[in-house]
Amino acid sequence: MTQMTGLLRWCDSSHLWNRRMKQLFQALKASIHKPAIRWTTSAIIALATMGLSAPAQAQGADQKAGDAILIMDYSNSMWGQINGVPKVDIARNIIEENFGSWNRLTNLGLLSYGHRYKNDCADIQLISPPGELDTSIVDRFLKQAQPKGRTPLTSAIEQAASYFIANGKSANVILLTDGIESCDRDPCATIGALQDAGLNMTAHVIGFGVTEEEGSQLSCIASITGGEYLTTANADALDFAFQEAIELVQLNDEISALQDVIGQLKDTLGA
């Protein structure tokens, strides 16, 4: 056990391990170090072998992580400019260029708000559900939609959550927004209520051209769900943030698969 602990400490500190492997080992270590569980060295080695290979095998079968929904901000403020270019054009150019490749990595859906009406907090629409292979639906929407409305973050998150609840799945959400809730609701309180009701949700939030004060409010959406808050101020940073969020969705699936393996081994060992 001492040798295994030393190995885990080395994995934590070694620059040779990327973040994905480190986080997988963190999940492993959290289970190994629970005092109520007695682990043998051979069992730990078996778990490490099973845990690190199972996610790769699972993704190798279809080359995809699970379902995720990208929530796209089409509020009127997306006409604001960065380096002379409207934020909406920057965002949709990146999404248009990459959505097909993202959709090959995870079953990515698209939900939008604010694209139809000026002052309607119910202006939220699931454009393409996760798993939709015809990405031309997304392409047409991105070419035609124009920012018009409010920023109903809370209701948009609820609608995304309703898809996952209806399909009995954990919720993976990537939220792109250039502002905070504008429809007199509290997204963090609502997410807390959804979690209390049993929803397993992870939300990665991309703040695009937001102020520090706005960022502090948006970051709670990520922190309360165990996601990441990514702040961006230009096209390159936004492109990087999108790629990062997709990788985080994949990582979340790998950790979930590892935790399933840990649970199975605990049952086998009678822990």
In tens, the pLDDT along 47-72 reads: 555 544 444 444 444 446 689 999 99
Predicted confidence (pLDDT) at residue 75 exceeds the cutoff of 90? yes
Could you tell me the pTM of the whole model? 0.76
pLDDT confidence of residue 170: 87
Closest CA to 87 of 218, 209, 236: 209
Q: Taking the CA atoms of the chain, what radius of gyration do you get in angstroms?
A: 20
Question: How far apart (Å, rounded) are the C-alpha atoms in residues 254 and 257?
Answer: 5
Of the candidates 187, 132, 197, the one whose C-alpha atom is nearest the C-alpha of residue 165 is 197
211 by Cβ neighbours in 10 Å (0-12 / 13-18 / 19+) ranks as: exposed
Residue 261 and residue 32 in contact, taking contact as beta carbons nearer than 8 Å: no
Q: What is the pLDDT of residue 29?
A: 52
What DSSP character marks residue 10?
H
Q: Look at residue 18 in the predicted model and tell me its pLDDT.
A: 54
Q: Return the structure tokens found at 98.
A: 């990459």
pLDDT surpasses 70 at 176: yes
**154 touches 161 (CB < 8 A):** no
In three-state secondary structure terms, 186 is coil
**Is residue 268 packed enough to be buried (19+ CB in 10 Å), middle (13-18) or exposed (0-12)?**
exposed
Alpha-carbon distance of 147 to 123, in angstroms, equals 11
In the chain, the percentage of residues whose pLDDT exceeds 70 is: 72
Whole-number Å distance between alpha carbons of 267 and 177: 43
User: Which tokens in the block code for residue 142?
Assistant: 């991105």
Average pLDDT of the residues in 62-91: 90
Who contacts 166 (Cβ-Cβ below 8 Å, separation ≥6)?
none
Residue closest to 180 by CA, chosen among 225, 220, 145: 220
Mean pLDDT score of the chain:
81
Write the burial class of residue 100 (CB in 10 Å: 0-12 exposed, 13-18 middle, 19+ buried): middle
Read off the pLDDT band of 237 (50, 70, 90).
very high
C-alpha–C-alpha distance, residues 77 and 265, integer Å? 51
The dihedral sign for the CA sequence 94, 250, 100, 151: negative
Chain position carrying tokens 């809730």:
181
For residue 245, the tally of other CB atoms under 10 A from its CB is 25
Give the confidence band of 239 by pLDDT, cuts at 50, 70, 90: very high
At residue 64, the pLDDT reads 61
Chain centre distance of CA 18? 19
CA 182 vs CA 68, 120, 154: distances in Å: 24, 11, 9
